[in-house]
Copies of this chain bind each other. A is one copy, B any other.
Amino acid sequence: MNATNDMSAITIAIDAMGGDNGPAVVVEGVAYAMKRGFGGNVLLVGDRSVLTPLVSAQAQMDRVKIEHADSVVEMTDKPMQILRRGHSTSMWCAIEKVKSGEANAVVSCGNTGVLMAVAKMQLKMIEGVDRPAVTALWPTQRGRTVVLDVGANVEADENQLVQFAIMGEAFFRALTGVKKPTVGLLNVGAEDLKGHELIRTAARVLREADSDMAFTGFVEGNDISGGAVDVVVTDGFTGNIALKSAEGAARLVGGWVKETLTGTINAKLGALLMTPGLRKLKDRIDPSSVNGGVFLGINGIVVKSHGGSDARGVASAIQMAADLAHAPYHDQVAKTVAAVMERSNALGRAREAETDLTIAAQ
Q: Which residues of A contact B (CB under 8 A)?
A: 139-141, 151, 154-155, 186, 188, 194-196, 220-226, 234, 236-238, 240-257, 259-261, 263-264, 266-267, 269-274, 276-278, 280-281, 284-285
Q: Per DSSP, are chain A's interface residues mostly helix, strand or loop, or mixed?
A: helix
Write out the residue numbers on chain B whose beta carbons fall within 8 Å of the beta carbon of A281.
256-257, 259-260
Write out the residue numbers on chain B whose beta carbons fall within 8 Å of the beta carbon of A140.
252
Pair A247/B221 contact, Cβ less than 8 Å: yes
Write out the residue numbers on chain B whose beta carbons fall within 8 Å of the beta carbon of A264.
274, 276-277
Across the two chains, which residue of chain B brings its CB closest to A277? B260
Across the two chains, which residue of chain B brings its CB closest to A237? B188
Give the complex CA separation of A141 and B253 in angstroms: 9
Pair A260/B237 contact, Cβ less than 8 Å: no
Give the complex CA separation of A259 and B284 in angstroms: 12
Write out the residue numbers on chain B whose beta carbons fall within 8 Å of the beta carbon of A155.
196
Write out the residue numbers on chain B whose beta carbons fall within 8 Å of the beta carbon of A242.
221, 241-242, 245
Contact of A274 among B224, B226, B263 (CB under 8 A): B263
Besides the known contacts A151-B188, A260-B274, A266-B274, 13 further A-B residue pairs in the complex with CB atoms under 8 A apart: A154-B196, A221-B243, A222-B244, A225-B248, A243-B245, A247-B249, A249-B249, A257-B281, A259-B277, A259-B281, A266-B273, A267-B277, A270-B273
Across the two chains, which residue of chain B brings its CB closest to A280? B260
Give the complex CA separation of A234 and B237 in angstroms: 12
